[in-house]
Structures are given as structure tokens and as C-alpha cells.
Chain A
Amino acid sequence: MDFGKKSNSNSLLIPIIAGGIFIVLGGLAIGALTPSVFPDQASAESEQVDTLFRFLLVIGGAIFLLVQGLLLYSVLTFGKRDDDEEDGPTIHGNTTLELVWTAIPAVIVLILVIYSYQVWVDIREPNENETTITAVGARYAWTFGYEDAQGRTVADSQDVIRGALPDLHTYAGQHVVMSMQTQDVIHAFWIPEMRVKQDLLPGRTTEIRFTPIVPENGWDYTDEASGTQYNRYRVVCTELCGSGHGNMWANVYVHESEEAYLEILEREVFDPIINPPADPVIRGRQVIQNYPCSGCHVLSDVGWAGVTGPVLNGVGDRAATRVAGQTAEEYLYRSLHYPNEYLVPGYGALMPQFQPGDPAGANYMPTNDFYAIVSYLCTQTGSGESNCDLDNLRNVIDADNPDNPVTFGAGADATDVEATAEATAEMETTSEAEMTPEAEVTPAAEDTPEPDANIGVGS
């Protein structure tokens, strides 16, 4: 029997046809498994990508069965008989056969290239009515920035209001363009259910497009307050970014309608900006959660449990003792604006440096937020009382940023603000019982440098 399929064509024809049918059906069967190895299809792109994958899997599955089948057949059939010490037949090759198994893969590859190219061009195509959402990656958290859809502007300027959240909100049918920047190393934005991934590169703004849809199995969650439905996924970082890489994920909420989406944004983002609370402590507690601090720090009051940075519980008590000659508010402000100036022993100089100057920058933090966040951190004390002089804090910030003075609460009666602050402080002492264990742990946690001395902040 010759290896070539030409000879004895009658006796070979049947097994070849049978094998061919088996391989084709097997490939189709393997390809049919596609949905079970992929997450839900939650974007328009995911349908195209999965169809391409299924095509690849059918062809790959057929090749798999062909090779493993021939291999298994050979192993079962061509094993040496006990009494047979002869060599096999001296066959050096078969030009026809070799041409065939060069040409067929070449044709398959050509088809795959053309098909993949079409899908790739298609999913990159910009849509009309796109909404741009910004994403900032910082070790080890995400921050998503939204622009007011109603076009309301910041007081005294033409700039449309922008605000940030640690979660990504969108709705089914929205044509989303993610515009992404990183504050430190390379990160990658991936929502498995959307089949989209793009690296965030230092010094560049990268983009990716997707359109969320309702997956086949419908909505998973219902918002109790509004009665609207939504799905929740994760956006995860897929480019190694350091010790907390595995923790760097955020929730993605796909709402059922544009109204539900806008309502959430109004409540969480724009209303606090348009009607800021008069108390800087309350405002500070709001805005600090819009920055990526949770990726590293522990702050039980807002539920942060970062694993790689110093603990912020009780930081108000320690702030005044850190640097000789600096008051608590001065120290906290400088730690936020110039994190490398003073480092808690055992921690490296790696916290992003927030800047008030450039609203388009990835590290932008307006002076009002500095003021509010420091005011809030000052209340992180064992007693719940603020340890800071907020007037002095305002002076410190203004002196350091003459071009961007603090405007928070300007015109309001100073005593009113202080009264509110005290009221809040009292309110917050209710949570003291929960905080106490943490507060006891804190000094030890901070004084003993973690071996992972990677992430640090002069807290």
C-alpha cells in the first residue's frame, strides 16, 4: 500500500470519505461549544467576535481531529509486532501529497485573514451619536469621567461640567467611546463580556469603542430605589501593573435605559457638583471616592481595603506628628499634592502626584477638592473630631496655588460652616464603634513597613 491516496483508490475512498465526514461534523460540534466557553454577550461587538471565534474553532477543531485521529490510528495500527524486526517501507515522500498539505492550509489561512480583517474593520467603525467616557488607570484602581449630557457649565466659564466615579455606567444601546489615560504604568482595560481590550499607555490617550446590549439571558439585577433593571460586569486590568494588579477591577453597570443612566449620573456625579454640600467634610467624603485612592489605601469609613498602601484610618491623629513644623492640615495637603516630599518609612515614592493646574490632565485635582479632601481626612481621628484649622488650610492651599485659589464655600458664613462641620463630626462618631478596632490596628500597620514596599504615600 502506498502512502499516496491515488493508488487503490477504490479501497481508500470509503475510509477517506468517512474520515472527512467525521472531521467536518466533529469540527462543527466543537465549534458549537463556543457559547459555553465565553461569558455573556453584552456588546454588539461580542456577537461578531464570537462568530469569528466559532469559525476558527470549527476549522481548528477539524484540524485537531484530523491530526489526533491520524496519530491515534497510527499508534493503534503501526505498532511493532513482537516478531517483526524489519524496518518499515522506504518511503521518502510524495510530492502531490506535500503540495496538497501546503496548499490547503495556505487557502484556509487566506480565508481566515480576510474574515478577521472584515470583523476588525467593522468593530472599529465609529458610530453616530457616540458618548465619550474617560477612564483613568492608576495603580490599582479605575476612575471614570463623565460629561454632563445636558451641557450645563461650570459657574463663570464655558466648560461643561465633568465629574468622576469609580464605577463605569452605561446603558444598552449607548455607543461608548472610552478615552483612556494612565497615571503611572501601563494598564489594560478589559470587559470580558464586551470582548473589548485596550492598553492605557503613558503619554498617550488611547480609545476603544463598544455598544452594550442586553444579553440573551436578560437582566440580572433590579435597582430597588428606582425599580429599573441593570447588569453588572467587571472591568479588569490585564496588563501587569504591580503588586495589586489582581485587585485592579471596577464594576460596570449597564442600565436598561438612558433615563436610568442619566438619573444615576445626576445623583452620583452632577448634583454634588452643582449643589455642593456647604460642609467641606461631607464634600470631601464624596470627592475622595472619585479618585483612585481605593486601589492602595485602607479607609474603613468609605469601605476601602487596598492591600498595598499605608492605612488612612486615624490619619488625622498622626498628621501633625509627621513632619516637624507642619500642622496636620499642612502635612495632609502636602502629602496629597507632593506625595514624594515626605514618605512614611517603608514606602516608596510612587503615589501619583495630583495637580490643580490642567483640567485635561490625567492627574487633575482642583484646589476645591484638595480643600475638601484634606478637611475630610482631618476628621479621621480616634475621637471623630477634626484636628485641623480649616481657615489655615485655605491659606496654605491659596499660598501654594496663587492661580487657582480655593473657592469652596466662598461667601458662606464661616461660623455656619464650622457649625455644620461639628454636627457632621458628631454624626460620624456613630460609626466610631466600627472604626475602633481598625484605629487600634492602624499604628502598628503603619509603623511596620510592609515587605511589599512598593506603594507609598506620605500619609
Chain B
Amino acid sequence: MATLSYPYGGAQAKPAKRPALAEYFRWSIDHKIIGVQYMVTSLAFFVVAGALAMMIRWELLTPELDLMENGSNYNTLFTMHGTMMIFLWIVPVFAGFGNYLVPLMLGAKDMAFPWLNALAFWMIPPAGLLMLSGYFVGPAEAGWTSYPPLSSVYSPDGQTLWILSLHLLGLSSILGGINFIVTIKNMRPEGMGYFQMPLFVWAILATSIIVVMATPFLAGALTLLLLDRVAGTAFFDIEAGGDVLLWQNVFWFYSHPAVYIMVLPGMGILSEVLSVHSRKPVFGYRMIALSSMAIALIGFTVWAHHMFTSLNPSLRIPFMITSMIIAVPTGIKIFSWLGTIWLGKIRFTGAMLFGLGFLSMFVIGGITGVMLAAIPVDIHLHDTYFVVSHFHFVLFGGSVFAIYAGFYHWWPKITGRMMDERLARIHFALTYIGFLGTFFPMHMLGMLGMPRRVAVYDPQFQDMNTIVSVFGFVLGISTFIFLYNLVASTVSGKVAGSNPWRALTLEWMTSSPPPAYNFIGDPIPYEDPYGYGTEASKAYLDAMDGRFAPPSPPKAKPESGAPTTPMEPQPAGD
């Protein structure tokens, strides 16, 4: 501790007092408790949905049905896998990060509506159980997209539970989204305009706007389907004048923007992680912030590219144009992140490795996305393994890599203990290799002619499917290294200190974990959340470190530039 080591542990001698374990199992209106509740709950569903993915890959080792008793059982696997990964893992885990971090990053004591916040979280466990209880009555088996009439008259009762569960999850999302918007709008500290906010907060703001605008359409579609199933209506019944394309339009009007709900927070995490761990300001802050908004907006105009083989052919062109345009703001982000690490002093921490991994994998998902936007190409590739590969590059190579990066970056703040960096490197290596080996060959499978959602397939694809499955198992195993690291570090990790990464955003300007109501006094944000490399920022960080240093042995550098007034500790309680 004599010289600066990285991570910069120890400014805080002991981890700050953690909330009692029981707090996490009951109704709490502390956003930090709720954030952890979100994260841990969604991690549990991540494991369940991941196990389903392993069963899918096991079944696909051979071209015949073997693991599963029949096709229906196989269909339930990918239906539950997809639905849970989306609605019970990626969406809520980002809500968890948002909950934990947004008030801290804004220097606020809590979210704007703490009680509503708790309500939004407590809808998730029952919704998850409702979804899983489908296994008692025959779970949903119409895919996560649940196109009628397969999902209306041809599905077992689990489909109804699926609808009710998604209804609850959607409502939870909307409540969370409203809360974030109000919090970000009203609770920024003095001196922090919109363009001084951390980019993670920008990402959550853009995400929340999408959530609040799009999720009601999911609720609408679900209600129609529910009524068709249980109340004898005929929205999707051709005989009675209904139309099956109604579902596809309304569903995708939500579910395409939902892709950005699942990716934008990850991009926010990435901006934080890349900047902090390469010790360099974010390159083109304003462009990254505004491109999030552009993506949110354009994202509403592209939904029908999911319907290139069902939509009336003459209506398809506009959606090809809008879908391709979205590549421009996405490209801006990728190049800006490359600009951020360029000439930096990169620390290859677990968080940074997954951040770099995100960049490397997400760009592949972006490229295949543009390919799929071209109608003639999509005609061939639609509903094949190419598409499966594409969206896993976006949602795993993008979102999940970002989530891992987020955990390695902020878990020390949450628990007060460092995660094991050696295990993190092993986790990264296995995840990166496992992921690439699982999903890259799927491109070829799709192009050569393997449709998605099949349990039996043309035997010519067996070799490649075997490769995919083996790498898939590697990917599955790698997850447990991460989970072990999370738990072990919480129990016995090195003490993290208040700011192990010497980051400039406000969540680090308090103890780890932060006390109830987050800050002692009102924290003063540094003028630029990414102003690394300046004397002033170093002085600010040193002064902040000083606030959490153990009182008796003074720090070994008393002379470093006189901290100016903003950094002075403030009396408690305003």
C-alpha cells in the first residue's frame, strides 16, 4: 500500500458496514437493496435459462430426437430459454444496475419514487414463478415470439401463464422506466447538466424512454392474445375476421425497440468501463450520448424487418431503409469507443477484458444485422440459424459481456470487496472462446439451410452442430467460474476501498458499500465525469480518497496540490 497499486485498494481500511442479509429478503425501499435484489434474482433466472440452453445443445448433438421425448418438449426448451433470458435476465439485471448506480451517479439519496421502485421489483419473482409454473400444465411452446394461431388455439395452458407473466414483467418495466426518467430529470446535483451526466445515466435515460413508450404495446398485444385464448374474442381468428399479422405488427413494435432496451444499458456500462480502465476520457462524449437517443428514436421505425417473409411484399422497402440507417449511430458508438482506448493506458482487468470483448463481438452482430436488413438476403436467412447467431452476438456478445464487465467493475462497490482478477481472466478466456465457437459456426449453418427451432435436422449439419454444442458446454461451464467469483469475493475478497479504479463518477465518492442514503453530505461532482489525465482530476481523486482514509495513519502524500473547496468534506445531514 506504500506505492500506488492497481486496483488502488486500501484508502478505506475495512469494508464499510454492509446491510444485514435479511434486508435483501424483504420489502425495502433502499435503491441499493433493490438493485441487488434485481441482480441476484435475475442471476438465478440466468442459470435456469442457461440450463435450458444446455439441454437444447445436448438435443442438437444428433439429427434425431433423443434427449427430449417429443418435439413439443423441445419447443418448450427454446421458448422458455428465450423468454427467460430476455425478460427475466437481461432486462431486470440492467434494471438492477440502473437502480444501484443511477442515484449514486447523480449524488442522490435514492430514486425519485422509492416505494414504486420496490413495487416494480417485487413483481418480478411472482412473474418468474408464474412463467415456470407453466411446467405443471404444459409450458408455452410457441417460441418467445408466440405467433398466433400457434399461440392462440394450438398451445397448452402454459401459454396463458406465459402471457400473465409477461404482463407483470412489462408493468414492472414501465414503473421502473418512469422512475428512472423522473430521477434523472429532477435529481441531478448542482453543476451537473445533461451533458455532464455519466454516459451510463444517458443510456438508462434513453432506455427508459423506450420502455415507457414501447412496453404498453407489448401489453396491448398480450391482452389481445389473452382475450383470444380465454374470453372467446377473435383478434387472430381468420374465420371470424381476425388477422394473424396484427400480432406480428404490435408485438414487434414493442420487441424491436426491446432489443435496444437490452443493449443500450450495456453500451452505457461499456462507456464507463472503457474510459476508467484505459485512464482516458470518453472519445466524443456528446456523440455517444446523442447516438443513444438517435437509436431510441429510429428503433421505433424498424419493427417490420422481422416480418420480411410475411409482410405484404410492397410494404417491405421502408423498413429496409430505416433498419440500415440505424447502423450509423451504432457505428458512431463503436468508433468512439475505439477512440477512447486509443493511446490510453489500458489496465486489463476483468471489467476491461469483457469491455474489449463486447467491442470485438458486438461489431459482428452489427455487421450481420445490416446484412439481414437487406430484404433479398433476409429472404434467404430469415428464421435460420444465421438469425440465431446474429441476435446472440448482439445479446450475448453485446449485452451479457457488458453485464459481466459491469459486475467486475461495480461488484467491489456493492460488496466492498474485490473480485478475483485471476479467475476473471479465466472466465473471460473461456467465455470468449466458448461464445465464438458456439455462435460463429451458426452463421454457416443458417446460410447452408438449417432452420431455427428444430429438434430434428438434415444429417449433413451434424458435424457443425456437434462443434457448436461442445463450445456451448464450455460457455455454460464458464458461467460457474463467474458465479463462484461473485460469491467468494463477497465472502473473502480483498478490501476494495471506496474507489479501487480511481474513477471520477460520483458512485465512487462514498464508501464501499455506500451507507444508507448513500453520501455523507452532498457530494460535489467533478466537472467532467471522464476528465482523466488532468492535474485537477488527480487532486480531486486524492482529496476524495482522503475522506475515506483511516483517521490515524495519515496518507503518505500530504503535499499533492491543495484541494480546493469543492472537495472538502461536508458535514453530515446537509
- Seen from chain A, the residues whose Cβ lies within 8 Å of a Cβ on chain B are 1, 3, 37-39, 45, 48-49, 52-53, 56-57, 60, 63-64, 67-68, 70-71, 74-75, 78-81, 84-94, 97-98, 101-102, 105-106, 109, 112-113, 116-117, 119-120, 123-124, 184-186, 188, 190, 192-193, 195-199, 201-203, 234, 236-247, 307-308, 350, 450-452, 454
Asked if B527 is at the interface (CB within 8 A of a chain A CB), the reply is no
Residues of B within 8 A of A56 (CB): 370-371, 374, 377
How long is the Cα–Cα vector from A205 to B149 in the complex, in angstroms?
Answer: 16
Rounded to whole Å, the gap between the CB of B234 and the closest CB of chain A is 11
The stretch from B31-39, B343-351, B473-481 touching chain A is B343-351
CB-based nearest B residue for A239: B383
A49-B379, A198-B309, A244-B71 given; A87·B532 CB < 8 A:
yes
CB of B72 within 8 A of CB of A242, answer yes
Give which listed residue, B286, B447, B453, B537, contacts A37 with CB less than 8 A. Answer: B447
Given contacts A188-B383, A197-B309, A307-B65, 15 further A-B contacts (CB under 8 A): A60-B367, A64-B367, A78-B346, A85-B4, A87-B280, A89-B343, A90-B531, A93-B283, A94-B339, A98-B332, A98-B336, A113-B321, A240-B143, A245-B453, A246-B451
* CB under 8 Å from chain A, chain B span 248-286: 278-286
Which chain A positions have C-beta within 8 A of B321?
113
**Nearest CB of A to B325, in Å:** 6
Question: Which residues of A lie under 8 Å from residue B328 when comparing CB positions?
Answer: 102, 105-106, 109
Residues from chain B with a CB closer than 8 A to the CB of A245 are 71, 75, 453-455
Query: Given A3-B343, A88-B345, A90-B532 in contact, is the A452-B70 Cβ separation under 8 Å?
Result: yes
Q: Which residues of B contact A39 (CB under 8 A)?
A: 447-449
**B382 pairs with A247, CB closer than 8 A:** no
Are B346 and A74 interface neighbours, CB within 8 A? yes
B73 within 8 A of A: yes
* Subset of 28 A-B contacts with CB under 8 Å: A37-B444, A37-B448, A53-B380, A56-B377, A63-B363, A64-B363, A67-B338, A75-B346, A75-B348, A88-B532, A89-B343, A101-B332, A109-B325, A109-B328, A116-B375, A116-B376, A190-B451, A196-B379, A197-B379, A198-B309, A203-B238, A240-B150, A242-B154, A243-B72, A243-B74, A245-B71, A450-B70, A454-B72
Residue from the list B281, B313, B360 in contact with A71, Cβ < 8 A = B360
Q: Across the interface, do B377 and A117 meet the contact criterion of CB distance under 8 Å?
A: no
Docked CA distance A106–B69 (Å): 50
Q: Does B192 contact A (CB under 8 A)?
A: no
Contact call B150/A186, Cβ cutoff below 8 A = yes
Separation of A119 and B448 alpha carbons in the complex (Å) = 21
Across the interface, do B317 and A120 meet the contact criterion of CB distance under 8 Å? yes
Decide: A120 and B72 in contact? CB cutoff 8 A.
Answer: no
Closest to B236 in A: A202
Interface size class of B (residues with CB under 8 A): 35 or more
Q: Assess the A195–B379 pair: CB atoms within 8 A.
A: yes
* CB-CB under 8 A for A91 and B281, given A49-B377, A56-B377, A75-B346: yes
Q: How far is the CA of A48 from the CA of B377 in the complex (A)?
A: 10
The residue of chain A having its C-beta at the shortest distance from the C-beta of B357 within the complex is A71
What is the bound-complex CA distance between A275 and B342, given in angstroms? 80
Question: What residues of chain B lie closer than 8 Å to A88, measured between beta carbons?
Answer: 278-280, 343-345, 532-533
Q: Establish whether residues B149 and A186, one from each chain, have CB atoms under 8 Å apart when the complex forms.
A: yes
Chain B residues with Cβ below 8 Å from A93 are: 283-287, 336, 339
CB contacts (< 8 Å) of B6 on chain A: these are 80, 85
Cross-chain contact of B376 among A86, A120, A188, A237 (Cβ < 8 A): A120
Count chain B CB atoms within 10 A of each CB in A123, A196, A452 and give the residue with the most: A452
Chain B, residues 42-75, CB within 8 Å of chain A (1/0): the string is: 0000000000000000000000010001111111
Contact, CB under 8 Å: B147 / A240: yes
A90–B363 contact, CB under 8 A?
no
A63–B360 CA distance with the chains assembled, in angstroms: 11
B370 to chain A, nearest CB (A): 7
Map CB proximity to A onto B141-152 as digits: 1 under 8 Å, 0 otherwise.
Answer: 111000101100
Q: Which residue of A lies closest to B76 (CB)?
A: A243
A275 to B532, CA, bound (A): 89
**Chain B min CB distance to A384 (Å):** 31
Q: Indicate if the CB atoms of B344 and A113 lie closer than 8 Å.
A: no
Residue B356 at the chain A interface, CB threshold 8 Å: yes
Q: A37-B443, A71-B356, A91-B283 are in contact. Are A202 and B244 (CB under 8 A)?
A: yes
- Chain B residues near A199 (CB-CB < 8 A): 309-310
**B339 neighbours in A (Cβ, 8 Å):** 3, 91, 93-94, 97
Closest 4 CB pairs of A and B: A243-B71, A203-B238, A192-B449, A246-B454
Complex CA distance for A86 and B279, rounded to whole angstroms: 8
Instruction: Note all chain A residues with C-beta closer than 8 A to B73.
Output: 451-452
Q: Is the CB of A240 within 8 A of B343?
A: no
Are the CB atoms of B342 and A203 closer together than 8 Å? Answer: no
Residues of A within 8 A of B316 (CB): 120
Q: Is the CB of A78 within 8 A of B332?
A: no
> Contact partner of B384 among A48, A70, A238, CB < 8 A?
A238
How far apart sit A286 and B62, CA to CA, in the bound complex (Å)? Answer: 34
Q: How far is the CA of A94 from the CA of B343 in the complex (A)?
A: 14
Chain A residues within an 8 Å CB radius of B24: none
Contacts A68-B363, A116-B320 given; does A246 touch B309 at CB 8 Å: no
Closest to B371 in A: A56
Q: Nearest Cβ in chain A — how far from B239, in angstroms?
A: 8
B119 within 8 A of A: no
- Bound-complex Cα distance A165 to B459 (A): 25
Q: Which of A185, A190, A192, A242 is the one whose CB lies under 8 Å from B448?
A: A192
Q: Which residues of A contact B327 (CB under 8 A)?
A: 105, 109
- Contacts of A57 on B, CB cut-off 8 Å? 371
Given A49-B379, A60-B370, A88-B345, decide whether A236 and B71 contact each other with a Cβ distance below 8 A.
no
CB-CB < 8 A to A451: which residues of B? 69-70, 72-73
Complex Cα distance, B367 from A45, in Å, reads 23
